[in-house]
Structure 1
């Protein structure tokens, strides 16, 4: 799945909406977007319940992760933990009857006279459990008390430099616990007095660094003027500025950045059009959000958009239509109702269509589509389609050949995304021709070196197992642009094993463009050749057989062309016996 395609699949909880005011309907969308459902829950039809949790201050706080980075600032220790030691890939925290697991954890451990006050911030696939009751969350924060420091078990640990700029994860955790944030924190175990959390003092951003910003412009979709209502909402903490715009609205957003699978994706200009739009943002960062004006605000500023009625979203050459939509730029949440995505495929010049009743994005790299289908047919009623009751796109397992960061031991480009479809059907017209209860496959390169595996059976070679392996991935080397080299490994039950190397290249050198192909293959043959009517059992000259072929073309200055071939065959019958099609069509 390419970056533009992944960035287009923005979705969230979609509800059957009553005929209420746009701002009320929009708030219903936002309230439901944090609820997350797993493939198992979708298959079983179950949801989760939320409860309060209480820990035990006499027990230590135990944390397990794949990677941990620690800063020591006076009496406080800060731990940034990523990944897990188990199959799920989640960092885990245990304290009495309370457990917390997530993709990322930040722990502030402050020593005091009565023990240790431990603040925990979690984000990404958060699972919070207390005495057998659990809930899924997008982010979570809580306070714990313990007689001793937190006990951390990690596969790879480093010590951070207090003089360096903290990571975005640590900055988000600091913002969550900052005294300027009025939202309450879940108290588990001993109830303490007023929050005295002091944000740790890292060095500031180096001079000359430019923070990310976004530019927002609102304009009418037609010649009719817009109707704009602006008010400050005091029902939220902190307060928000709410804009309700109707009359056919076009919203242009530039400078967005999405984090998909650990990789920053900048889709460029996002063009949103709808009959009505509701926008939430910070009051002090909303000056200029008027029709015809351009608002420039930091990328960290809260910015949420709800749209309804004839929605059209354009990003590059991709479009989405929907009846209702919600987009949260800061929390990687979005939702679409009755949505259809048309994504351009540059390799074929065509489009792929994805349609669903409900599309959700529940975190930066987790998506969920309900009652959807996909097809490459351009017709409104496609003649063929692949449909499913639930489709999940989420990080999956990594292969042993996945490139790892030498400093962290984690995947260099994040975990590969996998697609899981439940109750899948391949439809031709309205007739199902194939049913599968559950299908799971990588949505992008899973870094597995095996490129092809074929099993065949015939009377000449017997049972055949033929494999093609990506040589670069097999050796753990980066792929060279413009070239592809494969290892061939085959077993023929009536003839014997074979092994070889096959490759193509198309590159530019100092003389000009060069391209070519090469094939080296060795076959151990314990059988006889079957070559025709009067040659049904021809014994080979030697049991060691094979060939070498290299073809090369080099463009030279002055429109000159240099080309050549080198070939070698072990015997006159090898080519005809093992590669009959190439024997009939290629040069002798």
Structure 2
């Protein structure tokens, strides 16, 4: 066996080339490779000293993924000459007024922001209502001057919550609004104090807040105070347009046969008209978790149409329609629509509120339902019925599941900071279920409340476990609050009616989300210190993952206090000091199975200190360390007394540790070319590593203590980890636009336990003890732009010289048309599973997806033969056919689930981009 160890060590070290090396390598996707865009209602520009300046007003937005900034006004200084001479150019951005910085699901708010961006793609500018206005001279407005003053400080960034102060501007006379008129024939004359302009044939009119196309247009200008001005510079008082009229305002579009607008009074009338208003993206914020990312991207830009024979413009942003139609279908004859006796459209700031009375819902020309009153804020992508589905299951019988947006019925400002969804379900075999999902977010806080209740008529759960109580349900509340002085508070409350409720009705949450618990967690991180306060109690009285194969016992902490010093330099930065002290009161613990020794209420005091001495001789990085841990317990496990007491006296122990980390980064470039694999030279990056940890001093056996976490399980041990990370990079892409591609990634780590004590980890399945020497292998090869071979998280047991875990598969990825995966995962003595997956976009309207998991060696004891061998078993099969409508997705799903002894079909309809509020039942 020692020969095997030596051979593996030599194989690892053999790949290390000593002739070339580098101190470090930065391998990230730089933000400058992302497109930089600026958009707003109006944009003006000028050029000065090689810098192009853009000023964006009203609903201004800067986007360079993953960052997005919105503000009332944005000024950009684009170094245009720099962009011509090099691939990268600088864009300086100054934002003012209601500034929101978004990154993924997180956001921050300010009043003034100055940032510097780098771009390799230039600047894309998109004004909403009219072309970019170009000036010959710089415009010295207040915003520009404030931005110039901050630029002069030469700072990388400037963030302020203070409202900007007024500044003096040059005495530039205010110009009247310019109205651009283009037509085949234009005539003009004056009547009293009005200048009348008649434009005939292919008329195009652009003004500050609107653009109009029509066959013929008449315009009335007020010439009371401007006798000598051109008519295009006079105040516009009224406009009449006819023939294929199209008026664009911000995100709205008005289409009509005839339009008359009194600009001065903000009134008018539209004949045979239709108003098309665009749904706006919802204000982003971290409202839940990473699984919610991207759920609204498909709805952005979705139109809503309001039409009627006559639409009256009764006031600023207010329209009235009699016997009108509301729909999101853009066809001339919509597939579905609401007919309302009296419809009102009110546009206020960020809201477009439609209210209607005496409504009938039509599919085609057939009435399907009646609604006496309807109110929607269509700018907030609202749907009353968020999704619905029906089908049949061998376990649940026929079923109907629906999610309703309660706020969508009333509209209002609460939609800006919250969502309220009502779930109503019917299961033929189990009964009626209902729940409320309330999500909220603010500047410094966000969270959600989930509730669900079902009066269960069933007699048995999965695996034929009897249902003891028909009243079943759950309550889950999670909240995060950002506090002053770097404090953050996380709170969670969880209630479950019984241990099997989640597995029976919410399998997705049971398998993939964190454990349900009741927690109060307060933390503060400042500089190199951190303080935490934790109260963790299981009010349910049982482990919420009781039906899983988890080995971990649930330990209640009432409470736990910790203080940490993280990487504090000492002795002129020669040493790094790290420390953690904790005081924990373990009230009780909950096990999946009964233990011979029942844990008692225990107080544990723990302190661990580590001193590291970073050392860099030549191109090596060496970090030797010494560590000492002192742990005290108020009680111990001691049954040696005459009275056979279940607990012993107070005790404690000391653990002394030492070790080091060694690594070095090397690289070499090879002139290798291959057309088939698209290899354009190769760069080999390799990082050898060596870690050694030794606990020579352990004053007490861990079996003396109650085992709550990995601190209690530590014992005398030696661990040696020898590894090497290899990466082969090449360039792919069109000439001049090549990008670095990780062609091959290969990571190898060899874990050696000289004293056979193993390694202790507090993992997903509790305290995991690994005693056999093993090699961890990860391999990934991007064969082409669409084909990748993956073999990750493999474990080779060198004691028995065989694989404990082996996985491999091919990813074939060519979005959006198709993607496939074929893979196999082997876990010794447990399973040997074949995994197949495919997604194919048949056309713009149809797609199909299929999944298959088949285990050739199931651990299920019911399938075990008399000779100890397991029979093959199908784990899961499903097939999904989807049809994409204008703003809805309809899916038909067929599924076989032998593990749950269930076969089902279901049909569901959901708005594009909106995931289900809750994953109920078996999906």
Which is strand-richer, 1 or 2?
2
Q: TM-score range by the shorter chain?
A: 0.3 to 0.5
Q: TM-score, normalised by structure 2?
A: 0.26
**Which structure exhibits the higher relative contact order, with contacts defined as CA atoms closer than 8 Å and separated by 6 or more residues?**
1
Q: TM-score, normalised by structure 1?
A: 0.38
Q: Which has the larger radius of gyration?
A: 2
